[in-house]
Structure 1
């Protein structure tokens, strides 16, 4: 049995859970006339490590379309830039699935012409999210899936060893690792809460219950923020993009961290002593997609780009490079044995069954969370 076969089954479990909550790349042998006829440029604002150079180079060589790429490190970056320009300046952006409630009232994105998107090449569970969660007022699909992954725990294999098969979010806050850990403000705090739940220091389900109402959120995060401020000295770095995660693990003395899956897996693939794994509390699963701003100028180029993203062979080569995962059916079969090994290392045992899909995030939740995170950051 080939290595990718078992992994494909695991990937289906991941996609179901998400629905509930250096060589040049070869372009497809068969491409549509719209791609071949397209020219000009496309302005994309996307997560900083999602467009590896080989993908961009091959796309431009085949279609004549130049990609002007603005890398971002958070959903706030996308929102703030689009608000500041009233949806102008970019042809394509990449918001995360669970942020639809923040985008709906803004009027900054518009529906796709789904007849121009080969959505049948995408895992149906993820495709359906655009049809429901991102169909504002029944006007049409305003989001299609692009990349999925998780946030869990990474560590230096030469300097840290988890207590068991799985690490814990609590390792980042543990006094034994003081001054040698890192995380991202809001999510490392949430991770601390999940660790406290597991230890019985917070009621089970508290962190997810906080999404239900402002009152519950205040109750849970007040206690959480107090704990995190008391342990803040244990964190060496706070990151906000992929490069900072890599640098922390390689050059800044970080031995264990709460990170996305892509950056540490890319380091591991390059031969560095780094491991990424879903923690005992369960990794946080997310799906990043593609959305069309109201100020789009290069419409044909957008559909040519999405068509390239949805080619299984090209998507497989891309995920082999950046370490995340693709929603395109069969893409994993083109990602190689190293990708298969990394996936198995990241999600051993029952890890996939314990994933925590990020819940839909209401505007009030985002606002109140920012207040608590700022209190922690300024302490």
Structure 2
């Protein structure tokens, strides 16, 4: 999948050109409905819920989760019952289909005119399974290198995942267990030290295990450099605020939030490629309020809703025209974080089949307990 900020944005139209009223449920009917949203912590604000109700008349409640695994485990425990709309990453969608936890979208009910064409096209890998679309893209972002500009010593023009493990950063590194292994893998691959191409091994368990054996050895050798592991956004931010981290492999939102607070934090893509992901709306198999789920998707595909999402998260909305409504500081963060070359070099997470997730978690546990 080859997508970039430029490709996303050039697909957008001016905010005023997007249909202003894509909603179909009458407010009298909507007053008797409640939408149950299960999404990443920090993604849905009170302001967004109020605007959604004002536009549609629908009450909505928001329950947060912190990881893809938490979302998957919750749905498996309830057989796809309990929520009306969820927001997994596109690479995990085939796993939900395999476990029969989600339902195909009725694509005729989605206002695709409000979504960037490049996002709709780019989400075909993972979002369409056996010819059926399960996924309406909402946002995309990256995981790369966040660093304290006062203390971390990096060469921005030659940045690598390997820079995390330089002696001068010892005791000041924060990473997420499983994605740190991928970052180390990309670093080792760039030096010709993996037995198999990393991307290809996502399709072959034997090859992936052989790669992880090499990666785990290197990761364990550098474990003393870790100040804190993180698994959620709040933990990643806390590593820099209070636990001594000066550099880390984090989401872009981590650096965005810290910089908003006045912390001397910058964000940059390493030469191996920032890890890129896309998230979106999926309807669980046993959702009780499917009509309102479609209304929420169509509400999100308006410039105003997309801009509210970006201001809340620091990620990039797929809603057409949302970028034109963003504060200058938000636009500046993006411009400072990525060059055009880096955007063309994004490393998009491949499909993560259930066998891979189990294997990844095995090696993550071995890494964290080493």
Q: TM-score with structure 2 length normalisation? A: 0.89
Deviation at 1:320, TM superposition (A): 2.5
| Greater mean deviation of Cα atoms: 316-325 or 55-64 | 55-64
Q: Tell me what 1:107 maps to.
A: 100
- The CA distance in 1 between the partners of 2:285 and 2:94, in whole Å, is 17
Match of 2:316 among 303, 321, 325: 325
Deviation at 1:201, TM superposition (A): 5.5
Confirm whether residue 127 of structure 1 aligns to residue 116 of structure 2. Answer: no
Deviation at 1:175, TM superposition (A): 2.6
Q: Tell me what 1:45 maps to.
A: 38
Deviation at 1:35, TM superposition (A): 6.4
Confirm whether residue 68 of structure 1 aligns to residue 61 of structure 2. Answer: yes
Q: Deviations over 1:250-299 (max 9, x none)?
A: 12111001011112112213332111111222101110011100111122
Match of 2:6 among 12, 25, 35: 12
- The CA distance in 1 between the partners of 2:260 and 2:158, in whole Å, is 20
Secondary structure at 2:235 match in 1: helix
1:303-318 to 2 correspondences below 5 Å? 303-318=294-309
Q: Deviations over 1:104-136 (max 9, x none)?
A: 211110012222210122122321355564333
Give the 3 Å change call, closer, same or farther, for CA 363–352 of structure 1 in structure 2: same
Match of 2:87 among 94, 101, 119: 94
1:281-360 to 2 correspondences below 5 Å? 281-360=272-351
Alignment size in residue pairs: 358
Q: Tell me what 1:190 maps to.
A: 182
Contact 2:205 2:355 in 1 (8 A): yes
Q: Tell me what 1:144 maps to.
A: 136
- The CA distance in 2 between the partners of 1:59 and 1:117, in whole Å, is 16
Deviation at 1:60, TM superposition (A): 3.1
Secondary structure at 1:104 match in 2: helix
- The CA distance in 2 between the partners of 1:275 and 1:336, in whole Å, is 18
Deviation at 1:167, TM superposition (A): 3.4
Contact 2:258 2:265 in 1 (8 A): yes
Contact 2:87 2:282 in 1 (8 A): yes
Deviation at 1:102, TM superposition (A): 1.5
Secondary structure at 1:340 match in 2: helix
Contact 2:42 2:312 in 1 (8 A): no
Gaps of at least 5 residues in structure 2 are 11-18
| Greater mean deviation of Cα atoms: 162-171 or 144-153 | 162-171
- The CA distance in 1 between the partners of 2:123 and 2:222, in whole Å, is 39
- The CA distance in 2 between the partners of 1:121 and 1:58, in whole Å, is 17
Q: Tell me what 2:366 maps to.
A: 375
1:174-185 to 2 correspondences below 5 Å? 174-185=166-177
Gaps of at least 5 residues in structure 1 are 1-8, 17-27
Match of 1:229 among 203, 215, 220: 220
- The CA distance in 1 between the partners of 2:133 and 2:184, in whole Å, is 36
- The CA distance in 1 between the partners of 2:125 and 2:251, in whole Å, is 26
Secondary structure at 1:34 match in 2: coil
- The CA distance in 2 between the partners of 1:80 and 1:231, in whole Å, is 31
Q: TM-score with structure 1 length normalisation? A: 0.87
Confirm whether residue 248 of structure 1 aligns to residue 276 of structure 2. Answer: no
Contact 2:314 2:330 in 1 (8 A): yes
| Greater mean deviation of Cα atoms: 359-368 or 164-173 | 164-173
Deviation at 1:311, TM superposition (A): 0.3
Contact 2:145 2:161 in 1 (8 A): yes
